[in-house]
Structure 1
């Protein structure tokens, strides 16, 4: 299944395993402190966890003119050990030269459409940089953490 919007469309990561090395490259460039040599993240393991076509563990890739330009995932990880509220947005990313052109909004809208079809009542997202995008997409600030740069948003679907 994929979504279509003029020159933009999306596809499930599940259907495009040949793009996983590109995603690894994107993740390493975007989150070097997490996936780099001193980070605790395992980029290949995280990408493997987004290979599902539905539910948590689902990843979608955005294309513009058939060129991959962004990614977003649905995951069950939370930032709180006692919080069972999920799903969460994970690994939302747009390549730098395509930022501020509506692709991030497109990715969030498509993920919300998929979530609605799967009958999740709400979704959460943690961010350090995407506040304006989330607010434009109708998300509400839920919580600011003790880490001053991290904020939690939610949206009812």
Structure 2
């Protein structure tokens, strides 16, 4: 069985994907983005186009089809400012989940953080704990947000 090729690149090299990312995020996190216009969301993605400073968003392709994304950013959580930087916004198209794309995106984010000189990285997650644990991340604690609980993880690079 031939495995399809997963490629990961910087969002800045694929600005044409921003409308698709906007749709994905609106569909996946509809409550969070309820009061955002599409234009606001696209502007927000345009803030993630750096290659060598935060925030820096990566996009994943399988056989040249956009299938996922992740961002390396300053800690999103005001309650956890000591957790810099943070990997977040991990999204993989549902029909491509289980293909290793999320794992490759997390690996690429870890590599990017290391290349930018960070020695530790953090992430909060509801659903990706298995990926983080397989890659050697350490569970730190459960964090309670108004809209639910998330698990905080940390990884030495």
- Bucket of the pairwise TM-score, normalised by the shorter protein: 0.7 to 0.9
Aligned: 1:19 with 2:35: no
Partner of 2:152: 152
1:46-79 CA-partner distances (Å, limit 9, x unpaired): 3122111122110010011111100010111332
Aligned to 1:129: 127
Give the CA deviation at 1:6: 6.6
Separation (CA, whole Å) in 1 of partners of 2:36 and 2:4: 41
TM-score with structure 1 length normalisation? 0.87
User: What is the match of residue 64 of structure 1?
Assistant: 62
Moved over 2 A (4+): 36-39, 42-46, 80-85, 146-149
Q: Does 1:101 align with 2:117?
A: no
Distance 1:82 1:116 in 2: 20
Q: CA RMSD in A?
A: 2.1
Q: 64-73 vs 143-152, which deviates more?
A: 143-152
Q: Unmatched 5+ residue regions in structure 2?
A: none
Determine the C-alpha separation between the residues in 2 that align with 1:146 and 1:129: 15
Deviations 1:7-49 (A, max 9, x none): 111110011111111110111111111112489xx52343122
| Matched length | 151
Q: 2:152, 2:41 → 1: CA distance? A: 23
2:113 alignment partner in structure 1: 115
SS in structure 2 of the partner of residue 78 of structure 1? coil
Change (3 A) 1:103 1:82: closer
Report the alpha carbon displacement of residue 81 of structure 1 after superposing the two structures with TM. 4.0
Runs of 5+ consecutive residues of structure 1 not aligned to the other structure: none
| TM-score (normalizing by structure 2) | 0.87
What's the secondary structure of 2:149's corresponding residue?
coil
